[in-house]
Amino acid sequence: MSMRRIGIMGGTFNPIHNGHLAIAARAREQFALEKVLFMPSGVPYMKDQREVLPIQARCEMTALAVSYTPGFVLSEMEVEDAVQGKNTYTCDTLIKLRNTDPEAAYFFLVGADSLYAMEDWKSPDLIFQSCTVLAAARTENASTQPQGPCERLNKQAQYLREKYHAAIEILEFAGMDVSSTQIRERARAGKSLRGMVPEAVEMYIRRNHLYEKDS
């Protein structure tokens, strides 16, 4: 019997946006994932906490964003850490997942830039032992220079494979010009978020006055 293949899309989701959803959809298609767990980070220790909404709001936006797509599921595994004020570490979350469902094969989705930073994360060896890493690479940004982004990314992936015996795959992704920072700035300015977040998420942001200057 083949193992169930489960994707993990972790992130601050401050807020979740259409780029996150598009990457997850591409991962499901390219790697035949049964489902993708969208996991808002509890207390992301690498982020400025003043900029991060409470976990409840981020979970509620994530639930709205994934509710229309079969196979997309909100996971609140890191909520307890946030409630207790504990830092969130990817290695600990992966261990919890494997203890909960040891028969599954896990695929951890990251942006291409994260592949250069993962050695600085807590216990990178445990991360690489616990999952296959899918690094999303923008395929439309081919560089004319001798060593373009894709070549650099492939070299980094090979370096990590050799050092950690890591399972790393490149997730081919057409890219989407949207970021959570950009969305927050537009929300503060009262500008439309159409096409950047699901309509239900935009309505939630407006209804709760999120990211406004005085919020």
Cα–Cα distance measured from residue 162 to residue 30, given in angstroms and rounded to the nearest whole number? 24
**Which residue, among 50, 42, 49, has the nearest Cα to 89 in the 3D structure?**
42
**Which residue, among 116, 123, 118, has the nearest Cα to 137 in the 3D structure?**
116
- Identity of the amino acid at 108: F
* Per-residue pLDDT at 210: 96
pLDDT tens by residue, 22-36: 999 999 999 999 999
Q: For residues 15 and 61, is the Cβ–Cβ distance under 8 A?
A: yes
Q: Whole-angstrom distance between the N-terminal and C-terminal Cα of the chain?
A: 52
Burial 101-115 (b: 16+ CB within 10 A, else e): eeebbbbbbbbbeeb
Q: For residues 105 and 3, is the Cβ–Cβ distance under 8 A?
A: yes
Below-70 pLDDT ranges, the chain: 1-2, 43-50, 140-149, 214-215
Torsion of the alpha carbons at 41, 92, 154 and 180, rounded to the nearest 10 = 0
* Per-residue pLDDT at 99: 94
* Per-residue pLDDT at 144: 41
Beta-sheet strand order (sheet of 72-74):
72-74, 35-40, 5-11, 105-111, 132-138, 167-173
* Per-residue pLDDT at 143: 44
Cα–Cα distance measured from residue 152 to residue 170, given in angstroms and rounded to the nearest whole number? 12
* Per-residue pLDDT at 141: 47
* Per-residue pLDDT at 43: 64
What pTM, to 2 d.p., does this model score? 0.90
